[in-house]
C-alpha cells in the first residue's frame, strides 16, 4: 500500500497535529494566539485572498496599483512593507523555538527565533551563531521558505491577480481533461499561467472543488486497478449515472446551468474548515463540470463559517446559481438524522484532512465514522502529507469497521501546490489535500438460496 505513495523529502517531516494542524491563516496571523487552544480544529483561512483592497481614487484606474513590484517580492518578514507579514514574524518570535536550542538546551532555556535567515527571510534561530551551526540542516527547507515568503508578498502586492479571473460555463461539446492541473486549466479556458507562482496561487484555492470533481467526473484521472478498487468503481458508477444524464436536445448553453438540472447531488464536507471559507464562485468550477446537475454542499463542523461572515450562525443557507451551500456548526452526530435518508446515487462524503488518528481529534471522530459507514455512501478523505494519510488509514483499518476500500491511499492529482509553514517550527511544511483515499460501508450482495 505504501509503495503507491511517493516518499517525501526528509526536509518535509510530518507536522505534529497540535502545532501544525491549524496552519496559520495567510492574512490573519495576529489572531493566532489562540492556536494552542484550538489545535484540534485546524483551520486554513483563505478569505483574505479574495478581499479586494479599497481603491485609492478612481476604481477603474487605480484599483490594481501595485504596492510591490514583481522584482521586489523578497523581504525579511520583520522588515516587510506589509503589516500582515510583519505580524507573522512577530508571532514566530513569540511562539517559535530555535532548533539548536531545542536540541541542545533544556526546554526552559530554549530561546525564540529572532535571527532571520538572509536567504529566506524567516526567523529561524535565536542568533547568528546558532544559524551558522545549523546551516547544513536549514538549507533543506530554505528554498521552500523563500518561495512561501515571495508568494505571500505577491498575494498582497496589489497587482491585478489575473490568475483568479476564472472562466465561466463551458460549452457542453467541449471536453475537459482532468489528467492534471495543466491539462485542466488549459481545456477549461483559464488564462495562461506564466509562472509556477501563479499555479501555486490557483491550485491553493481550487484544490477543494477539483479534488471533489476529479473523483466524481467520468473523465477522472483515477482508474480501476491502478487507483480504484472494483467496489470503488461500482460506487462511482452509481454517482456518475446521476451526474452525467443523457443530454436533452434543444437546450441552450445558458439554460444548461440554470433551468435544466434534473438531479440534486449532495456533498457533505465533515469537519469543514478552509473549504467552507471559499467564496461560492470558486465552487462553480465544480458545477461547470456537471452542467445538468444541481448541487447541495453541506459544510458541517464548529468551523463551518460562510466566507466574509464574522458572526457564527449555527445554520445558514446560501444559494448561488445551481448550487446551494449549507453551513452548520453542529457536530455531525446531531446533523445525521436531519440530513437522512441517504442514497449512494445522490450523496457522497468528503473529509478534508480530518485527523482521524490524532489524539486531539480521534475521540471526536469515533461516533461519526460508524454513522457514515451505515449510509453505504462513498466516503473520501485527504491528508497533509504521506504520514498524515497513512496514520488515518491505519486508524480506520485497526478499528474493526466493516467496510470496503474504494481507493487505496495515493497522491492527490489536484493537491495544492502551495506549501503551508508550521510557524511554531518553520522547518516543517505541508500541502493541502496532498493525499487521498476512499472507503464505504460494506454492502452484501443478495443471492437466491441454492436448491
Residue-range domains of the chain with CATH: 207-441 (3.40.50)
pLDDT given for residue 434 in this prediction: 97
List helix spans (H) across 79-134: 83-95, 99-104, 128-133
Distance from C-alpha of 203 to C-alpha of 401, rounded to nearest angstrom: 34
Distances in Å between the Cα of 364 and the Cα atoms of 270, 367, 438 are 12, 7, 20
Cα distances from 123 to residues 27, 118, 126, 217, 227, in angstroms, run 18, 9, 8, 44, 41
CA separation for the pair 37, 21 (Å, rounded): 12
Residue 70, C-alpha cell as written in the block: 514583481
Which residues are within 8 A (CB) of 51 and not within 5 positions of it... i.e. 6 or more apart? 27, 308
Cell digits for 417? 501546490
CA-nearest of 76, 52, 71 to 158 is 52
What's the pLDDT score for residue 127?
Answer: 94
Q: Give residues with Cβ within 8 angstroms of 345, minimum separation 6.
A: 238, 239, 241, 242
271: region left, alpha or beta (phi > 0 left; psi from -120 to 50 alpha): left
Give the pLDDT confidence score for residue 310 in this predicted structure. Answer: 63
Check residue 2 and give its pLDDT. 42
* pLDDT value of position 50: 46
Task: Give every residue of the chain whose pLDDT is below 70, as ranges.
Answer: 1-65, 108, 246-262, 310-313, 445-451
What span, in angstroms and rounded, lies between the C-alpha atoms of 373 and 33?
A: 37
pLDDT of residue 217: 96
So what's the pLDDT on residue 321? 82
What is the chain's Cα-based Rg? 23
Is residue 295 within 8 A of residue 324, CB to CB? The reply is yes
- The grid coordinates listed for 337 are 438524522
pLDDT of residue 174: 86
Task: Give the E-state strand segments of 237-322 in sequence order.
Answer: 263-270, 293-300, 315-320
Counting beta carbons within 10 angstroms of the beta carbon of residue 91, is it exposed (0 to 12), middle (13 to 18) or buried (19 or more)?
A: buried
* Cell numbers linked to 203: 491550485
Amino acid at each position: 500500500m505504501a509503495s503507491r505513495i511517493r516518499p517525501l523529502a526528509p526536509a518535509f517531516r510530518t507536522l505534529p497535529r497540535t502545532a501544525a494542524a491549524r496552519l496559520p491563516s495567510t492574512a490573519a496571523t495576529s489572531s493566532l494566539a489562540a492556536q494552542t487552544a484550538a489545535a484540534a480544529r485546524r483551520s486554513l483561512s483563505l478569505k483574505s485572498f479574495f478581499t479586494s483592497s479599497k481603491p485609492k481614487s478612481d476604481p477603474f484606474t487605480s484599483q490594481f496599483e501595485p504596492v510591490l513590484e514583481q522584482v521586489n517580492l523578497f523581504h525579511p518578514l520583520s522588515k516587510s512593507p506589509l503589516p500582515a507579514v510583519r505580524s507573522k514574524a512577530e508571532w514566530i518570535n513569540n511562539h517559535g523555538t530555535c532548533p539548536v536550542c531545542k536540541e541542545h538546551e533544556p526546554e526552559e532555556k530554549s530561546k525564540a527565533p529572532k535571527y532571520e535567515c538572509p536567504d529566506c527571510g524567516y526567523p529561524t534561530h535565536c542568533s547568528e551563531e546558532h544559524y551558522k551551526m545549523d546551516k547544513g540542516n536549514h538549507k533543506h527547507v530554505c528554498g521552500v521558505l523563500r518561495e512561501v515568503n515571495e508568494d505571500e508578498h505577491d498575494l498582497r502586492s496589489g497587482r491585478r491577480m489575473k490568475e483568479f479571473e476564472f472562466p465561466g460555463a463551458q460549452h457542453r461539446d467541449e471536453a475537459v481533461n482532468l489528467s492534471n492541473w495543466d491539462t485542466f486549466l488549459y481545456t477549461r479556458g483559464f488564462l495562461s499561467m506564466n509562472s509556477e507562482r501563479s499555479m501555486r496561487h490557483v491550485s491553493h484555492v481550487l484544490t477543494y472543488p477539483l479534488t471533489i470533481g476529479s473523483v466524481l467526473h467520468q473523465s477522472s484521472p483515477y482508474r480501476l486497478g491502478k487507483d480504484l478498487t472494483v467496489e470503488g468503481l461500482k460506487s462511482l458508477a452509481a454517482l456518475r449515472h446521476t451526474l452525467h444524464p443523457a443530454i436533452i436536445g434543444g437546450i441552450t448553453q445558458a439554460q444548461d446551468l440554470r433551468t435544466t438540472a434534473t438531479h440534486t447531488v449532495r456533498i457533505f464536507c465533515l469537519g469543514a474548515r478552509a473549504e467552507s471559507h471559499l467564496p461560492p464562485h470558486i465552487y462553480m468550477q465544480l458545477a461547470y463540470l456537471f452542467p445538468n446537475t444541481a448541487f447541495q454542499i453541506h459544510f458541517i463542523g464548529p468551523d463551518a463559517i460562510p466566507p466574509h461572515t464574522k458572526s457564527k450562525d449555527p445554520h445558514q443557507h446560501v444559494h448561488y446559481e445551481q448550487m446551494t451551500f449549507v453551513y452548520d456548526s453542529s457536530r455531525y452526530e446531531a446533523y445525521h438524522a436531519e440530513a437522512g435518508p441517504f442514497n449512494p446515487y445522490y450523496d457522497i462524503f468528503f473529509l478534508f484532512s480530518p485527523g482521524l488518528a490524532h489524539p486531539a481529534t480521534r475521540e471526536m471522530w469515533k461516533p461519526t465514522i460508524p454513522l457514515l459507514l451505515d449510509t453505504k455512501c462513498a466516503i473520501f478523505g485527504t491528508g497533509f502529507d504521506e504520514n498524515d494519510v497513512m496514520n488515518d488509514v491505519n486508524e480506520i483499518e485497526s478499528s474493526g469497521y466493516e467496510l470496503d476500500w474504494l481507493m487505496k491511499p495515493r497522491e492527490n492529482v489536484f493537491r495544492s501546490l502551495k506549501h503551508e509553514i508550521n510557524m511554531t517550527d518553520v522547518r516543517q511544511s505541508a500541502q493541502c489535500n496532498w493525499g487521498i483515499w476512499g472507503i464505504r460501508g460494506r454492502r452484501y450482495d443478495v443471492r437466491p438460496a441454492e436448491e
